[in-house]
Structure 1
Amino acid sequence: MTRRQTLLTGGAALLAGAAPRAAWGRTEADVLIIGAGLAGLHAASLLEAQGVRVIVIEGERRVGGCMHTLDDLPGAPEAGGVQIGSGYHRIIGLTKRHGIPLEPAPSIDRNVLYHIGGRSVTMADWPGSDANRLPAPERAIPPGALGPAFGARMAALPTPQSWMEPNAAALDISYAAALAQAGASAEAIRLIDANLNGNSVHSLSALHVARTAAIFRASPGPLLMIGGGSQRLPEAMAATLATPPRLGQQVAAIAESPENVTVTLTNGKTITARHALCTIPFAALRTIPIEAPISRDLAALIAGLPYSRASFAYLAASDAFWKSDGLPETLWSDDPLIGRVFALGEDPPMLKVWLSGPNAGRLDRMPRDVAAGAIIARIEAARPAARGKLRLARLFSWQRSPMARGIYHHIAPGQAATLAAGCRARGNRLHFAGEHLAQGSSGMEGSLESAEQAVATMLGRLGT
């Protein structure tokens, strides 16, 4: 990030004294919210309830952010957030408020078919398989269970918020280093890296993994999902706002003055408000020039907070062959073009291929027809019952979306203290929220948590 993009003042306050009230008349709203995902929509609703004039703008032609239901595909599969934990109290409350039904999420079948080194192996056969190159102490552990197995040997965080404490710094090393310290072999680390929910075991902090584990421990119980598709919730939230979100409004620049914040759009138009709340992912925000007194920690996060790459291939099947071939439904592979293959349903029969990190980038660079042929051929080789029964319905990439540039954030090694300080930072007139700034939650719930923190700050400052 250049000086032209972000003017740093080390957190110094703006010019002392209240902004001239005459300037308020030149603003279109009290608060301009950038982004109509969960954080932006929740903040808008909370502010409107307090009588605040709000405008919400969104660069996409839809609301929802990382809650994205592909309604045009058979079965309306999800591309974004799906699972709702028992501790997602804010999300559950919003579904009740808006009359959105919740349903039990499909149970996770731990019995998967492994395809390692070009050979398909069931879990029962894994310990004695020639494809199993793990050393003797690890041979009994299936590839998909290696992460949790070694995670149990690492230090655990007592609470979901504990990652922010100084004594958690010992865990803020690369996940690869932490796995090695826990006794993982090079082959175990390679397999964990093959389908990591992140970009690499080398670029992911072990503290991020510990934080995720703490959040899951704090939310025991069955998982839920939104009936009719995850995107139904943000759509319902947007429908209750006094002023509908303005869609297709992409931001070109943001400038804060002592009196207000002015946002310039790519179409050349400007919107001025007394305060602005930016909820778009930092991976997308870092390409937008910002002229504002932002703390050094926030500036560093905008410039360098990593986001996980994720690309999906949705495959339509002529029949649900995974129900009749005698093999587990889920396929887990170290093949860079298979990754994980999930059965989405039988009516219609659909599969979802999930690729992460460098494998997602590899898929993104391939022409559609080439990618379709390569993926289907590999699945057919791993699972012969699939031969002649698959066709590509859609390729989807989160990092290729200019409004996202990744599916969700993660902490890089050595970055936790900066992120913790950024989560605590409070702006003058330009504020930030999103799942990347949550302190005790993650994902959908984290988006709402951070929105509430930002709203509390803005309500305290709207009198100036």
Structure 2
Amino acid sequence: MAQRLDSRSPLKGNHHCDVAIVGAGLAGLCAARDLDTAGLQVLVLEAQERVGGRTLTEHIDSSTFIDHGGQWVSPGQERIVALAEELGVALFPNWDAGLTVDWSGGVRSTYQGMFPPGSGHAEAQVRDGARKLTQLAAELPLGRPWEAPSATEWDSRTYHHWLAENIPSPLAQQGLARALEGVFGGGPGELSLLAALAIIRSGAHEISRLVSAENPGPEHRFIGGAQQLCERMAQSLDERIITGAYVAEIEHGNNSVQLYSGDLTVSARRAIVTLPPVLAGRIRYSPALPAARDHLTQRVPMGWVIKVHCVYPERFWVAEQLSGKVTSDGGPVRVVADNSPPNGSPGILVGFIEGAEARRLAAAGREQRCAETVAQLRHYFGTLAGRPDAYFEHAWGDDEFARGAYGGYWTPGVWTSYGHTLAAPIGTLHWAGTETSEAWNGKLEGAVHSGRRAAAEVLAAFR
């Protein structure tokens, strides 16, 4: 089992390895796994008393689980599917058959497809806008959006400004905005157009799906939850993982690096930091990092999401031919989905409190968040939705080891000013985490890709 560091039996002294890794999420553990396979000595230092990072699974009983963090696998995410297969973790198709509930201006309706009936003009504009955005995104060098010919122009504008100029229908604007909000989680600052294009360029995100000639198929989930990927990797790495080890300081030189966590010191030849940029910037580095890298960490804030689940005896919405999905223009919970386990019992609805609503309700307390969530679900699904057997939540903004979700986002000017420092090694320091990934940035797949990329960098340096 992983070594544990707590106030009762702190791990002290000096430890030596080839590579020290900060963070035991998907990125850190994938990097550790590749380096261990290559024969290097690895130590992973994790601040929490668990592994998993921004994956977090709670088990209600032996067959029922709730994913508080990342959970969905989209078509085309080959790395994480291959990882799950290696680890013996099976997937199942997401529950999404049936009608979507729409809540607009306080009026409820149901529909099949992208928009409610009578919104044909909006759907056409969404598809046209998605095509334009995809064409613009194709001009970006993969992983280096600041090198695009129009990068400066695009980074000086916001994504919403582009939508307002190019998409006449407010409903279509909302649809295209929503297609990227699932990556950024509604931060308080405006997303730059260049950042939006970089996300589209990094993988087949929702906007790319809108222009696909074929149905790419359903998203999938992990039987037993997403966190077990990290838990199973941790089992194979065993004593090479130290939990409860908050890295406060890193000294780095030409040939070595020292990481300090309380009375624990880890000396290594190289280190990989897998934290989101804003958290990586809170570590004290000696010597100090180059100013551009430090400025980057100050300018890539986290989004804000409270993920909520309501558990019911059964999937009662199916009797009305509903999918469990919701689109809404008001209230705290504007996105809902069916998050029931593979056998369909019990029925579980997952909702997302994002952006301004998350900031408002973060200080309100669990009781009020539960009451407002249940009231909103009652509007969407009727009286049965108002009587859940249980309510679960995780407020990622209050999580001291994440400080938000789903990840860091890019306001105007940041990509072109500081983007080149995001993943570039600094001497013996390397960077990973889904924000640094050129593929599926912001997703679980991106975390896996980034960890393996950082491991390859380290191996190349040793060679």
Q: State if a TM-score over 0.5 links the two structures.
A: yes
> C-alpha separation between the residues in 2 aligned to 1:82 and 1:365?
26
> C-alpha separation between the residues in 2 aligned to 1:458 and 1:326?
52
Question: 1:238-317, aligned counterparts within 5 Å?
Answer: 238-241=234-237, 243-265=239-261, 267-292=262-287, 294-317=289-312
When normalised by structure 1's length, the TM-score is: 0.81
Aligned residue for 1:457? Answer: 457
RMSD: 3.1
Question: 1:9-158, aligned counterparts within 5 Å?
Answer: 28-72=16-60, 75-103=64-92, 105-106=93-94, 108-109=96-97, 111-123=99-111, 126=116, 140-141=121-122, 150-154=129-133, 155-158=135-138
Alignment check: 8 A CA contact 1:39 1:279 kept: yes
Alignment check: 8 A CA contact 2:22 2:272 kept: yes
> C-alpha separation between the residues in 2 aligned to 1:360 and 1:243?
38
Question: 1:409-448, aligned counterparts within 5 Å?
Answer: 409-418=408-417, 420-423=419-422, 425-442=424-441, 443-448=443-448
Query: Letter of the aligned partner of 2:56 in structure 1?
Result: H
Task: After superposition, give the CA deviation of every residue in 1:4-51 in whole Å (9 maximum; x if it has no partner).
Answer: xxxxxxxxxxxxxxxxxxxxxx76112111101111111111212222
Aligned residue for 1:398? Answer: 396
Q: Which runs of 5+ in 1 are unaligned?
A: 1-25, 129-137
Alignment check: 8 A CA contact 1:126 1:140 kept: no
Shift in CA distance, 455/203, structure 1 to aligned 2, threshold 3 Å = same
Task: After superposition, give the CA deviation of every residue in 1:175-207 in whole Å (9 maximum; x if it has no partner).
Answer: 111101213355654676679333259611223
Shift in CA distance, 141/239, structure 1 to aligned 2, threshold 3 Å = same
Shift in CA distance, 100/381, structure 1 to aligned 2, threshold 3 Å = closer
Task: After superposition, give the CA deviation of every residue in 1:95-146 in whole Å (9 maximum; x if it has no partner).
Answer: 232233233x226458411112222122389456xxxxxxxxx67537xx97
Alignment check: 8 A CA contact 1:150 1:182 kept: yes
> C-alpha separation between the residues in 2 aligned to 1:327 and 1:230?
26
The alignment of Structure 1 onto Structure 2 pairs a total of residues equal to 425
> C-alpha separation between the residues in 2 aligned to 1:95 and 1:127?
40
When normalised by structure 2's length, the TM-score is: 0.81
Query: Letter of the aligned partner of 1:79 in structure 2?
Result: H
> C-alpha separation between the residues in 1 aligned to 2:198 and 2:228?
29
Matched, 1:180 2:179: no
Q: Which moved more, 1:295-304 or 1:191-200?
A: 191-200
Task: After superposition, give the CA deviation of every residue in 1:319-377 in whole Å (9 maximum; x if it has no partner).
Answer: 43312245553222222312112222240111111122222222222111122122212
- Which one of 199, 209, 232 corresponds to residue 212 of structure 1? 199
In our comparison, the structure showing a higher alpha carbon Rg is: 1
Displacement of 1:149: 5.5
Query: Letter of the aligned partner of 2:300 in structure 1?
Result: L
Shift in CA distance, 328/229, structure 1 to aligned 2, threshold 3 Å = closer
Query: Letter of the aligned partner of 1:260 in structure 2?
Result: S
Identical positions, percent: 24
Q: Which moved more, 1:185-194 or 1:61-70?
A: 185-194
> C-alpha separation between the residues in 1 aligned to 2:231 and 2:425?
29
Alignment check: 8 A CA contact 1:423 1:438 kept: no
> C-alpha separation between the residues in 2 aligned to 1:462 and 1:318?
56
Alignment check: 8 A CA contact 1:343 1:352 kept: yes
> C-alpha separation between the residues in 2 aligned to 1:192 and 1:221?
19
Alignment check: 8 A CA contact 1:295 1:425 kept: no
> C-alpha separation between the residues in 2 aligned to 1:206 and 1:433?
24
Alignment check: 8 A CA contact 1:163 1:207 kept: no
